[in-house]
Structure 1
Amino acid sequence: MLVVLMIYSIVVVLALAVPLAVLVGRERVQRFGENRAAAATFFAELSSREDESGVPRLRESVQRYHSLYGEGLAIVDRGGVVRASAGIDVDRPDVQEAVSGALRNQRGDVPSSLTPWAQSEVLVAAPVGGGTQVDGAVVIDASTDAARRDVAVAWVVIGAGALLILVSVAVIAAALSRWVVRPLTALSSRVQSFGDKFHAELPAEEAQRPESTEYVGPPEVRELSGAFDAMADDVEAATAAQRRLVADTAHALRNPLAALRIRLDVLGMRVPESASEAHLKTTLEVDRLSTVVEDLLVLAAAETPAGARTTGCDARAAILSRVEFWSTTLTVAGMSYSLAVADDVPRAALPEDDMIRILDALLSNVTKYAGAGSAVEIGCRGGDGQVLVWVADTGRGVPTSELPKVVDRFYRAPGVGGEGTGLGLSIVHALTERAGGSLQVSAGVPSGLRVELAVPAVLS
């Protein structure tokens, strides 16, 4: 971050300092040219006024200018004969070229800009006379030392100011970058320490970190990104370990519970009348534990990422089949039901077994909790590349504040009677998300509960 800020600051300072330095050079050379052009014009006018009798006075003025300013000066007539000169060799090629230009009524040009390392002398020429009549030429061998010195001083001031600005910016940028980066560094250290502690508790064969990814950007951000990716891998590994633990534990409990249930059935034939109620409660409790174990196994399987891509299932056929299966249970529970199944429902992108588990869990919840006299609607339709499946009832429902919690494990709404493990909607939620879909639980109209899931459709 400090490097980025400094590069930006250097670019900005250079963008301001360089044009300012160039402007100073142009301004100084403009004043230099104006002064020398005025001097050349003065001597040109003086030469045009003086005849041969005035040549001594002309030479005296030229000599005085050379003594005062230390610059060479020459005045020649139209034939190129020197009328007056001081401090300049008229026979020099560059001087002759300047004289020729002035005799052609051309004024010598000074450079457009001036730098400290520019040439030390510049020839400034002006014609004597004007219009179509040129009577001679004036050439000044002007020294640029003073102008170059002024430009050098100005550039030093500009450079010192730019350096001072950069130093100030560097101090501010260092403080700002430390202020910004310090939390990133601390967060990265904490994330890395979390990962180290997590890996220290894993078996040796599972403690290997995946290969790191090369990131682009500032070092602190790259380090934090790598730490977060490692933490994400650790969390995923921990989640997978948790699922394995739940599955292994449930699987280990299933056989002992089955054996215990058999023993209770055998023992029931010899239980005296006085202990029959206790025996019945124990049997029901074992059955409830067996149901919890089975649901945990199903939930662990549902939360495991899907393997090969499924060819999908016929949601309409699955709904008709499961409603027929549950119709007797719904009738016995005192509920009426209706179907709202469209004819052109596309195939849903989830296995048929998962669709059956979802429908069984939803219809089981309805028969347990909706209550007698409730009306149940089971439906599905296609749209926008999805298959929508819903089960809605007009039963007691769930308080609005409790709706976001109904998909949590082992959650049961307050005041809800009946048997249940609190895992039914958790299983539905996990199976739906594994298929790439979404689950929405909302209050029914006018009462009750509506559970709607949207899964991708299989595109033919």
Structure 2
Amino acid sequence: MRNRLVAILVIMAALTVAGLAFPLGASSATGRTQELWFSRYVDAEWFGDLAAEAMTTGNIESLVLAMRRYHDLYGDAVMVVDAAGREVANTGVPSDDPTVIAMLTEARRNRHARQPPHRLRPWDPETMLIALPVGRGVRIEGAVLIEASTDEAIEDIEDGLALITVLSWTALAVFAVAAVLLSRWILGPLMRLSSSVRRLTASLPKPAASVPPGAMRRHYSGPPEVRMLAQSFDSMALAVTESVDAQRQLVADTAHAIRNPLAALAIRLESLERFIPEEGAAAYRRTSYQVDRLSSVLDGLLRLAVAETPTGFAAAHPDGDWPSECLVGPVVADRVDEWQPAFDAAEMMLHAGPSPVPDDLMAAIPGQVLDQILDIALSNSSRYAGAGAETRVTVETVQRCVRIAVADDGVGVPPAELDQLVNRFFRGESASAGGTGLGLSIAAALATQHGGELSVESVQPRGLRIVVSVPVWIPDEKR
């Protein structure tokens, strides 16, 4: 690709240089040709005045002397004829040349010399003929012709063309070097990225046999290197997606595999309770608590695996026909009513509001998923806010998003722990009442899966706020 880019840049530079060099060379040749023609035209007019005076007085010595001096100085021959075409004076012009005869005839007919039809070229004749009538007005007494040498003019033109050629090739070489440097600067990171992606793709597991051959394979256009890079990215994305799915499936399978033995262990512990002596009762209770806690962790891992799977909710409810949107007001009111006894038992207050939720406010998230998220947020508040705390659930719309906040004025968490609360298995300093550390991770995964996000914020002067933002649902006919 680098060679092709350099070739394209060099070709464009060559066309640009040629587009400047050719007009410049033509202009230089044209200017030098006109300079020669005009200078000899003026000289022909001067000789015409001398010839008219000589023909009037009959003394041509001064005319001949001027013609010889001119020939010695410039090397150009001059010829003068009278009105009948007879030669009056000549310093070397071939009088029998048909072109000379024709131009003198035209001049004697009072037709002035015309500029050459084209600029001088290196292969043009070595002379240029310029003929003018001798006389004033309509009275023509003869004609004068200058055979001007074009050697010096052609040499100047060749020198100019050579200089333009050298400058053109120099500019083209500079452009070529600049094209190489520019291509390296532009394509260097791309080539390194392509090489790194190829090495990474080669180290990843190959796609499963069940993956269709055309999965994530698009038809790309462009240079082969770019197409290869795009295909490598597709392969890498497919391999990473399969790896992530395999990890999630491993978590789910492991949790399922452990749950049954764990349940059997819990039943055996329960059956042994009546045989435990008094001195071993404390150890028995701690063991039972750890078994229950391990069961909670496994349940949380299963829910997290489902939440982080793109189609996790549908896969977990294969028989359900769940809508992709819900009315926010009824869901919030139902969760507040459901959790009211738990907050009363914890000696806490739970309120919804203060602003009422519009009856037609709909969020682009299934109602069952929003239930799970609010259950996790309200469970955290009831467990960790502390007795006497007040929890309030509020709903507002901000830039086509529904923001549902569960805020309390409880003990809160240290600022350093805020960003870690959504991490798996993280439990803050105040989390002394059990818990697995997976709840907020599950809620965040569910919110992200449906185009939203979950954040944890501090409340001043104290307390904690869990905010879930999901897009407002807009019917297709209004989009």
Q: Do both proteins adopt the same fold according to a TM-score greater than 0.5, normalized to the shorter chain?
A: yes
Q: Rate the CA distance shift 1:14–1:102 in 2: closer, same or farther, 3 A.
A: farther
Choose from 137, 146, 153 the match for 1:140.
146
Question: Quick one: distance in 2 between partners of 1:211 and 1:156?
Answer: 58
Distance 1:64 1:311 in 2: 107
Q: Aligned partners of 1:401 and 1:124: how far apart in 2?
A: 99
Aligned twin of 1:330: 343
Cα pair distance change 1:4/1:411, threshold 3 Å: farther
Distance change >3 Å, CA 82–CA 94, structure 1 → 2:
closer
State the match for 1:351 in structure 2.
Answer: 366
Distance in 2 (CA, whole Å) between partners of 1:212 and 1:131 is 89
Match of 1:37 among 23, 32, 41: 41
Amino acid aligned to 1:234: A
Equivalent residue in structure 1 for 2:243, among 238, 241, 249: 238
Which region of structure 1 is more displaced relative to structure 2, 329-338 or 405-414?
Answer: 405-414
| C-alpha distance in 1 between matches for 2:216 and 2:394 | 48
**Alpha-carbon offset, residue 234 of structure 1:** 2.6
Tell me the SS of whatever aligns to 1:453: strand
Within 5 Å, give how 1:9-408 maps onto structure 2: 9-14=13-18, 16-51=20-55, 53-55=58-60, 58=63, 62=67, 73-77=78-82, 83-85=88-90, 86-88=92-94, 92=98, 96=102, 100=106, 103-104=109-110, 106-110=112-116, 113-116=119-122, 122-129=128-135, 135-171=141-177, 173-174=179-180, 177-178=183-184, 181-199=187-205, 210=215, 212-213=217-218, 215=220, 220-306=225-311, 310-340=323-353, 341-408=356-423
Question: Which range is displaced more, 357-366 or 264-273?
Answer: 264-273
Contact 1:105 1:130 in 2 (8 A): no
The CA distance in 1 between the partners of 2:220 and 2:62, in whole Å, is 83
Q: Secondary structure at the match of 2:297?
A: helix
In the superposition, relative to structure 1, how do residues 105 and 299 fare at CA in structure 2: closer, same or farther (>3 Å)? same
User: Do the aligned partners of 1:291 and 1:421 also contact (CA within 8 Å) in 2?
Assistant: yes
What is the aligned residue count? 459
User: In the alignment, what sits opposite 1:424?
Assistant: 439
Structure 2 distance, partners of 1:438, 1:102, is 101
Alpha-carbon displacement from aligned partner over 1:171-210 (angstroms, at most 9, x marks no partner): 454356446645543442232122111126x765569795
How many angstroms does 1:354 deviate by?
0.7
Change (3 A) 1:322 1:41: same
Contact 1:394/1:448 (CA < 8 Å) preserved in 2?
A: yes
Equivalent residue letter for 2:196 = R
TM-fit CA distance, 1:378:
0.7
Q: CA deviation at 1:65?
A: 5.5
Report the CA distance shift for 1:42/1:327 in structure 2 as closer, same or farther (over 3 A).
same
Q: Answer with 323-332 or 383-392: which moved more.
A: 383-392
| CA pair 35-216 structure 1, distance change in 2 beyond 3 A | farther
Question: Residue type matched to 1:108 in 2?
Answer: R
Structure 1 unaligned residues grouped into runs of 5+:
none
Moved more, 81-90 or 184-193: 81-90
SS in 1 for 2:204: helix
Measure how far apart 1:151 and its partner are. Answer: 1.8
Question: What 5-or-longer segments of structure 2 have no aligned partner?
Answer: 315-320
Q: What is aligned with 1:433?
A: 448
Give the corresponding residue for 2:317. Answer: none
Contact kept in structure 2, 1:105 and 1:134, CA below 8 Å: no
CA displacement at 1:383 relative to structure 2: 4.9
Q: 1:451 is paired with a residue of what secondary structure? A: strand
For residues 183 and 209 of structure 1, do their structure 2 counterparts lie closer, same or farther at Cα, with a shift above 3 Å needed? farther
Q: How far has the Cα of 1:372 moved from its partner?
A: 1.8
Q: Which amino acid aligns with 1:298?
A: R
* TM superposition shift of 1:391: 1.1
Q: Is the 8 A contact 1:102 1:138 kept in 2?
A: no
8 Å CA contact 1:257–1:290 kept in 2: the answer is yes
SS in 2 for 1:75: strand
Which of 403, 409, 413 in structure 1 is aligned with 2:424?
409
In structure 2, what is the Cα distance between the partners aligned to 1:121 and 1:402?
98
Please report the TM-score for the alignment, with normalisation by the length of structure 1: 0.85
